[in-house]
A and B are shown apart, each in its own frame.
Chain A
Amino acid sequence: MNTLLALNADDLHPDVALVERVRGGDLSAFEQLMKQYDRQIFRIAQHITQSREDAEDVVQDTFLKAYTKLDQFQGNSKFYTWLVRIAVNESLMRLRKRRNHPTVSMDDDIQTEEGSVPRDFADWAPNPEQLYRQTEFAEILRSNVEKLSPGFRAVFALRDVDGLSTEETAEALGLSIPAVKSRLLRARLQLRERLSRYFRVPSGEQA
Chain B
Amino acid sequence: MNCREFLERLEDYLDPKTATELRAELDTHAFRCSHCQVTFNTTRKTVEIYRNNELYELPQNLREKIQEAVMKKCSKMREANKDCSGSSGE
Contact = CB atoms under 8 A, between A and B. Distances in A.
A118 interface: yes
B18 interface: no
Contact of A123 (B38, B46, B89): B38
Nearest to B4: A117
B42 A35 contact: no
Contact of B34 (A68, A117, A121): A121
B45 A181 contact: no
Contacts, number: 103
Interface residues of A, number: 47
A181 B11 contact: yes
Contacts of A68: 77, 88-90
Q: Say what secondary structure dominates the interface of chain B.
A: helix
A80 interface: no
Interface stretch (A8-16, A37-45, A89-97, A104-112): A37-45
Contact of A38 (B50, B58, B78, B90): B58
Residue from the set A121, A141, A181 with the largest chain B CB neighbour count within 10 Å = A121
A79 interface: no
A42 to B, nearest CB: 5
Interface string B4-39: 000100110000000000000000000000110011
A30 B74 contact: yes
A122 B35 CA distance: 8
A56 B67 CA distance: 11
Interface of A (DSSP majority class): helix
B77 A43 contact: no
Interface in A44-97: 46-47, 52, 55-56, 59-60, 63-64, 67-69, 71
B70 A60 contact: yes
Given A67-B77, A123-B42, A141 B67 contact: no
A157 B88 CA distance: 33
Contacts of B74: 27, 30, 64, 67
Given A34-B70, A39-B58, A39-B63, A69 B90 contact: yes
A60 B11 contact: no
